[in-house]
């Protein structure tokens, strides 16, 4: 964890534990042991487990890693329409596989009922931007003008979430980003203008 502040090291270690065993099974003692610290020293940086869960869950949103709708996830020029939707799906899928903090954030959001902290609501941050890009796709002639963009955005996000869950349950998480992308392409293709 070279180059990280002590606080960043704590958040990284917590993310690794939250991602692998969940909130309930992650203890301050386990995080401290992972870092070679005393538990009291750990609490000096982040005073409680709910606060730590808050920090880990929000991190991918605050740093723009999960979704930055005004720019392309790859950091290049902004995309729009169906290209932007596919870019979001591609980016978040790859991030989920490669970044333990992204996996920890998702797991914590899913466990929110047992965590006494303000956490992001799973999937909600993607619905508005995807619906906005679908409106652009209608303007561009790539999506039928009769499409309910809010409904289609919901179905795209839910297909992504389903692909992630199936990938995890079948221990095929590396296949998930491609499966989610292909499913999104199929959904977009099904809503192209006829004729």
Residue 62 has a pLDDT of: 82
What pLDDT, in 10s, does the model give residues 22-53?
999 999 999 999 999 998 899 899 999 999 99
R_g over Cα of the chain: 19
Q: Given this model, what pLDDT does residue 78 score? A: 62
Q: Which two tokens stand for residue 193?
A: 């203008």
Q: Of 74, 193, 61, which Cα lies nearest the Cα of 137? A: 193
pLDDT of residue 86: 94
CA distances from 123 to 37, 129, 130, 190 (A): 35, 11, 11, 23
Q: How many domains does the chain divide into?
A: 1
In a domain, 28, yes or no: no
pLDDT score, position 124? 85
**pLDDT of res. 67:** 61
Confidence (pLDDT) at 174? 95
Q: Report if residue 150 sits inside a domain.
A: yes
pTM: 0.85
Residue 29 within a domain: no
* Residue 66: predicted pLDDT: 75
Q: Kindly report the average pLDDT of the chain as a whole number.
A: 90
Q: Is 169 exposed, middle or buried (0-12, 13-18, 19+ CB in 10 A)?
A: exposed
In-domain check, residue 42: no
- Is residue 123 domain-resident? yes
Q: Output the pLDDT for position 17.
A: 97
CATH classification at residue 133: 1.10.357
Helix (H, G, I), strand (E, B) or coil at 99: coil
Domain contains 172: yes
State which residues of the chain have pLDDT below 50: 69-77
Does residue 167 contact residue 103 with C-beta atoms inside 8 Å?
Answer: no
Residue 25 lies inside a defined structural domain of this protein: no
pLDDT of residue 70: 47
Cα–Cα distance between 138 and 30 in angstroms, integer? 51
Residue 21 located in a structural domain: no
**Which residue range is the domain that position 66 belongs to?**
57-190
């Amino acid at each position: 964890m070279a180059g990280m502040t002590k606080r960043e090291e704590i958040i990284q270690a917590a993310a690794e534990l939250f991602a692998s065993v969940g909130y309930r099974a992650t203890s301050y003692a386990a995080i401290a042991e992972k870092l070679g610290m005393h538990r009291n020293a750990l609490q000096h940086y982040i005073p409680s487990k709910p606060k730590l869960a808050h920090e880990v869950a929000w991190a991918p949103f605050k740093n723009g890693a999960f979704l930055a709708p005004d720019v392309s996830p790859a950091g290049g020029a902004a995309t729009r329409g169906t290209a932007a939707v596919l870019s979001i799906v591609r980016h978040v899928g790859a991030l989920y596989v490669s970044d333990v903090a992204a996996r920890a954030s998702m797991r914590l959001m899913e466990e929110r009922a047992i965590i006494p902290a303000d956490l992001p609501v799973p999937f909600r941050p993607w619905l508005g931007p995807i619906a906005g890009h679908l409106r652009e796709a209608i303007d561009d002639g790539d999506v039928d003008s009769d499409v309910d963009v809010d409904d289609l955005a919901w179905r795209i996000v839910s297909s992504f979430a389903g692909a992630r869950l199936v990938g995890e349950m079948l221990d095929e998480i590396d296949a998930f980003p491609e499966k989610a992308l292909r499913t999104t392409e199929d959904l977009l293709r099904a809503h192209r203008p006829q004729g």
